[in-house]
Structure 1
């Protein structure tokens, strides 16, 4: 999936999460968008990889792409760090929701992810899409609509 699809996925997921929590929706929204980019730190050409090129190169050299940073182990470690060191619980939760949305979206690609890293098994959905293909554009559109729907509910717009 492309960066824009991951961002809108993080936005949609965080706004959906806002429906079932008492966290501040605007914090979840921002954190979800950022969190959705974090797993791709292992790829130098990604939005976050270009922002932190040295860190990206190190992580890629040690683990490769779509391995450790796309795993439940990484998600659990991030949860521990976020809830221990971040000053706001909504920020931590939003980052994790965004990261989780990233993993789900990458499971919809042909290559899948190593969700159970360090085990080498790749996990993907039975039906997959090509990054940047027509199906991804349709997923982007659907996630955009879901973001509007959940955003409307989360922010209690009154007309």
Structure 2
């Protein structure tokens, strides 16, 4: 999936989770975007890879794309780091929700992800699409609608 689809997926996931977790939706929104972009640190052409090119190149050289940073192991490592250093529950929840949305979206592509890394088994959904396809545009549109829905629902948090 493209960066914009991951961003809107992170927004949708974090705002939806803010509703059930009773977290500040604005904090969740920002953290969800960060979490949605974080797994692609292993790809130099990604939004986060272009911001941190040396780290991106190092991770890619050591592990490749859609391996460690797209795995449950990485999710657990990030969760542990967040619990160790970030006191704000909404930040932690938002980042993790964004990461999970990223994983799910990439599992909907033909290449899938190495969810169980270091086990080299590719995980993908039975129905997949190509990155940048018309199907991805439909997914983007649906996630945008979900984001608007939960965004408007979140207004009640502030009223």
The TM-score bracket by the shorter chain reads over 0.9
Report the TM-score when normalising by structure 1. Answer: 0.97
> How many equivalent residue pairs?
158
Matches within 5 A, 1:69-84: 69-84=69-84
2-structure distance, mates of 1:80, 1:90: 15
2-structure distance, mates of 1:155, 1:77: 33
Does structure 1 retain, via aligned residues, the 8 Å contact 2:72–2:116? yes
Q: Name the structure where helix makes up a greater proportion of residues.
A: 2
2:115 counterpart residue number: 115
Where structure 1 has 5 or more consecutive residues not aligned to the other structure, the ranges are none
Moved >6 Å (runs of 4+): none
Residue 33 of structure 2 is aligned to residue 33 of structure 1: yes
2:61 counterpart residue number: 61
The SS at the match of 2:137 is helix
1:138 counterpart residue number: 138
Where structure 2 has 5 or more consecutive residues not aligned to the other structure, the ranges are none
- Aligned CA RMSD, in angstroms, stands at 1.2
1:153 counterpart residue number: 153
1:23 counterpart residue number: 23
